[in-house]
A and B are shown apart, each in its own frame.
Chain A
Amino acid sequence: MERRQFIQGLFAASAVAAVTTPSTLMAEEAKKPAKGPNDMSFDEAVKVITGGKEVKESDKIKLTVPEIAENGAVVPVKVNVDYPMTDKESVTAIHILNTANGNARCVDVMLTPANEKAYFATRVKLSKTQEVVALVALSDGTFIKKGKSVKVTIGGCG
């Protein structure tokens, strides 16, 4: 009898565990801060910008980011694109993206030939070690990109 009771007890305990684990997990998830309204994954963001078109890696883009960022709240990003800026052919937009923040989009910059050179600089927040990607739209409808990973010692979100 003792053995039977023991086994029954085991079964009961495991059943209880099976029921409780998902619910406790759910509760933990609920405790996390609510998702931002603009949250978007990197792949989704690329799809929205390019409309599903192919994006080529290119050395025409010079992306300057620090290799190691001690403070993730302030990471300087500089983009230079080696491409003519005339009425016929120009860089129409520079998109700065990240791969691991809640919202993958940082800034979308629409340029015109009046800028003379395709250049943009800003500072972004990075939550953890990840890649910063500059996605550049050209006037002929093609897209090029360049990414560089940044090691973040202290995250900049929260």
Chain B
Amino acid sequence: MAEARKSMIKIKPKKYKVGDTVKVDFIVIHPMDTGMQKDKKTGKIKPAHYIDNITFSFDGKPFTTMKVWESVSTNPYFSVNYKITGKGKITVDYTDNQGEKNSKSKKVKPKG
């Protein structure tokens, strides 16, 4: 089940300078099954499958970590603030309770 998940990092606003505080949005396509729903086709209870840990880091230095439970919606969305300090790369690493590990990164290019 080690398929690459579709995910996206968005920095808002699109144009920013060094010293600006931006919003870093992270969206990932994930079922987030609670382990209590029934599969409509088979009638069996679907096993729990949800993201449990997320780490936001800038050039390898983590600035926000999250512990996530199954009460978060399908295809979850997380948004945090971050102060731009210079050029670099924002990386989001995430794992789920079935052992999947993925990461997504985006370059940070401040203008001016």
Contacts and interface: CB of A to CB of B under 8 A. Distances in A.
Interface stretch (A14-22, A23-31, A115-123, A144-152): A115-123
A110 B65 contact: yes
Contact of B77 (A110, A118, A122): A122
Given A107-B66, A108-B67, A109-B66, A124 B73 contact: yes
A102 to B, nearest CB: 7
Interface residues of B, number: 34
Nearest to A95: B67
A73 B81 contact: no
B7 to A, nearest CB: 15
Interface in A86-119: 98, 101-103, 105-112, 114-119
**B interface, by DSSP: helix, strand, loop or mixed?**
strand
A131 to B, nearest CB: 13
A150 to B, nearest CB: 13
B81 A124 contact: no
B36 A73 contact: no
B99 to A, nearest CB: 16
B66 A108 contact: yes
Contacts, number: 112
A141 interface: no
Given A103-B69, A119-B23, A36 B79 contact: no
Interface in B47-87: 48, 58, 61-74, 76-83, 85
A122 B78 contact: yes
A126 B72 CA distance: 9
B105 interface: no
B45 interface: yes
Interface string A66-79: 00000001110000
Contacts of A111: 64, 80
B65 A107 contact: no
Contact of A117 (B48, B61, B73, B81): B81
B76 A123 contact: yes
